[in-house]
Amino acid sequence: MLNFLSKITTGLNFLGSIWVFGLALLICSDITLRTLLNSPILGVPEIVQYSIAGIIYLQLGQATKNSKLIRSDAFISRSHLKFPNFTQYLLSCCDLFCAVIFGLLCYGMIPEIIESIQMNFQIGNRLYFTLPDWPVKFTICLGALMVCIHSSIQCVMHLGIAIGKLPMPSNPTDELEY
């Protein structure tokens, strides 16, 4: 099951990377056409705006799994030297908080996605360029679900380390293997 979850997370990260590459090509093409032919590609600002949240949430699960989210490693490392079990409990609490927040985000996005599909919400200017609203909301929901799952797993692992069921890592900021 964890191997399957890891493959899904890696796949979403890969999709986010492809999306970044496609966005870069679109922006470069728009700049080239504006400069050479005075003919911009319609909707590029809307697509860029739309893409930022999608890309972030597609890659957020992988960042969570690899313990690469922003945090104070200096505090964690110092705390680990003097109070290793306390540090593991603290990391477990942080992971639990993260799991709850992103779980609530995912849960809250579901009615938004359904309403967006049913009402055919669009972003952009109707006379100029529009995109459906639901795909980016679905991407946010999926990314939040991945963060919730990985944070939950890491919460349990940090608790296991704190109570002695799992070995204490030499560096508490390293990625947990699962």
The confidence score (pLDDT) of residue 128 equals 86
| The overall pTM is greater than 0.85 | yes
* Mean pLDDT along residues 14-22: 97
Express each pLDDT in 125-172 by its tens digit.
888 899 999 999 999 999 999 999 999 999 999 999 999 999 998 888
Q: How distant, in Å, are the alpha carbons of 3, 85, 165, 174 from that of 89? A: 26, 6, 13, 16
pLDDT confidence of residue 161: 95
- Ramachandran assignment for 11, one of left (phi > 0), alpha (psi -120 to 50 degrees), beta (any other): alpha
Q: pLDDT for 82-126, tens place per residue?
A: 999 999 999 999 999 999 999 999 999 999 999 999 999 998 888
Give the closest residue to 109 by CA, choosing from 57, 170, 73: 57
Question: Tokens 């990391």 belong to which residue?
Answer: 91
- Residue-range domain boundaries for the chain: 2-162
